[in-house]
Amino acid sequence: MTRHLITSAIPYINGIKHLGNLVGSQLPADLFARYQRGRGNEVMFICATDEHGTPAELAAQKAGKPVAEYCADMHAVQADIAARFGLSFDHFGRSSSDRNRALTQHFAARLAENGWIAEVEERQVYSIDDGRFLPDRYIEGTCPNCGYDKARGDQCENCTKQLDPTDLIDPRSAVSGSTNLEIRTTRHLYLRQSALKGQIADWIDSKADWPILTTSIARKWLNDGEGLKDRGITRDLDWGVPVPGMPGKVFYVWFDAPIEYIAGTAEWADAQGLDDAAWRRWWRLDEGAGDVTYTQFMGKDNVPFHTLSFPATIIGSGEPWKLVDYIKSFNYLTYDGGQFSTSQGRGVFMDQALSILPADYWRWWLLSHAPEGSDAEFTWDNFQASVNKDLADVLGNFVSRITKFCRAKFGETIPEGGAWGEAEHALIDALAARLRAYEALMEAREVRKAAAELRAMWVLGNEYLQSAAPWSSFKTDPAQAAMQVRLGLNLIRLYAVLSAPFIPFAADAMLAAMRTGDRAWPDALDGALTALPPGHAFDVPEVLFAKISDEDRDIWAQRFSGIRD
């Protein structure tokens, strides 16, 4: 048994996330966590809401609530939606927790003690109309590098270039749109990342197995232009982790947010009534974390902070904290030729998705089309085709045909009689080859390719059933038909176990129909395909996956198009 620490990039508290956010971090992280649990490994899967900074303040102001109340309410909303999507977090925490406050202040103190913190007097943008300093993210303008007209003051989302607010052309307040800005002097703490560049570069160079997307972004930020820059870790705000000895300052959200991965594990231990040793064994190399494999999942816009800034915090602390072993990053999911947009009502958001179809429909499409090698596009035609062909016609059809046929000819118990022949052994050999490929791809976090192998195993069952044709052999050799049906019913249990990481709710329904809780991973297919013996009772399940009609497809396409009357 191995131990896997898995974290998903933590979503901002302000609002419900769209499908692109989901497939860029939380959903593939859940896939990997469920797979590792299915293999019998020990897993700690942590996520949280990112609750500090101006986004939370502005969202709370818009909602007419105190920011703490707003964050508590939205955490509950996001936790509920995550549960309904089947996201199997061991703990879904909050970056505003007492644990995160203490750990953030601890890391800052250690960095200061080791000489990696500098107090810097800087000139910062102040919005006269808003009456406040503007955090970098809340200054917008035109990127001097690529010309994108909605670049933020910290980074251009279009070209990913790291920016300072003063770099922007025609800057404006993202709070009010005001251009009545001026530069004022303030003092902030900076993490001296440039002094840690050598250690960070050596660490990144040691990760030869990382995705090209991850390492290319990391090296671009590490070496582009002037190279790795020192980074401000404090802001002039009221809401956040207070900076000891600096009234009116809080730690920058990108400094405290990743620390919540550690704090969230501590919150898990607290919730379980366990002592600190229970969570420190996941994070401290001197307390048992040496055998942990740590994987992070995130969209490509989060890569710079997870490959540079957070590692700088860990390395600079001088303490034996666990560094990430593998960063799985994703490109963007676009929506029908454009971007998801909350303001324009364009695209499907997580709560809306669940209001029209069960979670597994969305899980399957998103994971089987995950934006790994390049950006991916959601279209309603593609979604309909994938659901109807993969889920309804292949998996759902197999389950329905074999269970209904057995009930009609043998009753609702698994029949006995007959022995495997050449066709059955050929099926097992083909399944075994696909299964080993599936396992290798899941271990490698190759999401789309793993989905393709899983579907191929479903197809093998359908091809066998069509070729064996127990409805024909029943007429001349009932024992032969009984064997074929028995194998088919055992395939349902096997498919449930293998499919659970992708479609957990359907997998549960399949196991319930087979009246078994046996989720043992199939190390040997001979045993897996005889797990349900003759005489074992089963039920004919309800339709696993209903097809999406052209009418529904067109209605939904119009509803989420962003077109206004």
CATH value at residue 33? 3.40.50.620
| Position 563 confidence tier, pLDDT thresholds 50, 70, 90 | low
Identify whether 413 is part of a domain.
yes
Residue predicted with more confidence, 345 or 331: 331
Do 473 and 388 belong together in one domain? yes
3-state secondary structure 429-443: HHHHHHHHHHHHHHH
Do 169 and 64 belong together in one domain? no
Q: What is the pLDDT of residues 427-444, one digit of tens each?
A: 999 999 999 999 999 999
Identify whether 227 is part of a domain.
no
Do 104 and 154 belong together in one domain? no
The whole-number pLDDT of residue 139 equals 92
Task: Report how many domains make up the chain.
Answer: 3
Kindly report the number of other CB atoms within 10 A of residue 334's CB atom. 17
Range 222-241 average pLDDT: 86
Do 449 and 470 belong together in one domain? yes
| Position 565 confidence tier, pLDDT thresholds 50, 70, 90 | very low
Range 236-248 average pLDDT: 93
Dihedral of the CA atoms 361, 362, 368, 370 (nearest 10)?
A: 180
CATH value at residue 488? 1.10.730.10
**Any known ligand binding at 146?**
yes
Do 314 and 443 belong together in one domain? no
- Average of per-residue pLDDT values in the chain: 95
Do 321 and 446 belong together in one domain? no
The pTM of this model reads 0.93
Do 415 and 506 belong together in one domain? yes
Of 180, 253, 194, 233, residue with least CA distance to 11: 253
Range 139-163 average pLDDT: 89
* 564 has pLDDT over 60: no
Do 420 and 520 belong together in one domain? yes
**Any known ligand binding at 406?**
no
The whole-number pLDDT of residue 137 equals 77
Identify whether 219 is part of a domain.
no
The whole-number pLDDT of residue 484 equals 98
* 248 has pLDDT over 90: no
**Any known ligand binding at 156?**
yes
* 7 has pLDDT over 70: yes
Do 265 and 160 belong together in one domain? no
| Position 225 confidence tier, pLDDT thresholds 50, 70, 90 | low
Do 398 and 520 belong together in one domain? yes
Identify whether 196 is part of a domain.
no
The whole-number pLDDT of residue 161 equals 85
Do 55 and 86 belong together in one domain? yes
3-state secondary structure 101-163: HHHHHHHHHHHHHCCCEEEEEEEEEEECCCCEECCHHHEEEECCCCCCCCEECCECCCCCCEC
Helix (H) or strand (E) holding 383: helix 380-386
Q: What is the pLDDT of residues 359-371, one digit of tens each?
A: 999 999 999 999 9
Helix (H) or strand (E) holding 527: helix 525-528
Range 186-199 average pLDDT: 95
Identify whether 234 is part of a domain.
no
Q: Tokens representing 22?
A: 């989901």
Q: What is the pLDDT of residues 489-527, one digit of tens each?
A: 999 999 999 999 999 999 999 999 999 999 999 989 999
Q: What is the pLDDT of residues 372-413, one digit of tens each?
A: 999 999 999 999 999 999 999 999 999 999 999 999 999 999
The whole-number pLDDT of residue 545 equals 98
DSSP secondary structure string for all residues of 234-271: EES-SSS-B-TT-TT-EE-HHHHHHHHHHHHHHHHHHH
Do 387 and 513 belong together in one domain? yes
Q: The domain containing residue 395 runs over which residues?
A: 383-528
Identify whether 359 is part of a domain.
no
User: 234-235 and 250-251 as β-strands: parallel, antiparallel, unpaired?
Assistant: antiparallel
Identify whether 159 is part of a domain.
yes
CATH value at residue 163? 2.170.220.10
Identify whether 404 is part of a domain.
yes
